[in-house]
């Protein structure tokens, strides 16, 4: 506690600064698709951008960017897609269902 009063950073502030330094890396993810027999296949990669303005006066809090080779427009059922993100504090991956994120963008947080 004394470190805070002497101008040192708190643990929360230190964690926030560390996460901000790695923010570019943490936004990149692996995109996988699960087939009917529950086999998982890596299709490519994508990344998340915060506060992207694509059109004037239309802001998107989070945008997910990838290729049409990963998400073909003629067969894109998002129920079978998963996003794997690296965690800032370990080598483990955080897996998120694309369907859940599309329904509620707050799931990116």
- Token pair 């330094």 is found at 21
Mean pLDDT of 72-86: 82
CA-CA distance, 99 to 36, in Å (whole number)? Answer: 16
Nearby residues of 65 by Cβ (< 8 Å), 6 or more positions away: 46, 47, 48, 49
Q: Provide the whole-model pTM.
A: 0.67
Per-domain residue ranges of the chain: 25-108
Judge contact between 59 and 71, C-beta under 8 A.
no
**E strands within 5-108?**
28-34, 40-55, 58-65, 81-86, 93-97
pLDDT tens by residue, 85-100: 887 777 788 898 988 8
């Amino acid at each position: 506690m004394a470190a805070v009063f002497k101008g040192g950073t708190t643990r929360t502030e230190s964690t926030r600064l560390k996460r901000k330094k790695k923010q570019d890396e943490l936004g990149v993810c692996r995109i996988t698709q699960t087939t009917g027999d529950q086999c998982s296949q890596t299709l490519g990669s994508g990344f998340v951008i915060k506060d992207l303005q694509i059109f004037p006066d239309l802001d998107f809090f989070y945008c997910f960017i990838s290729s049409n080779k990963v998400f073909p427009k003629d067969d894109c059922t998002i129920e079978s897609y998963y996003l794997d993100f690296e965690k800032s504090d370990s080598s483990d991956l955080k897996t998120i269902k694309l369907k859940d994120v599309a329904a509620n963008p707050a799931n990116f947080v």
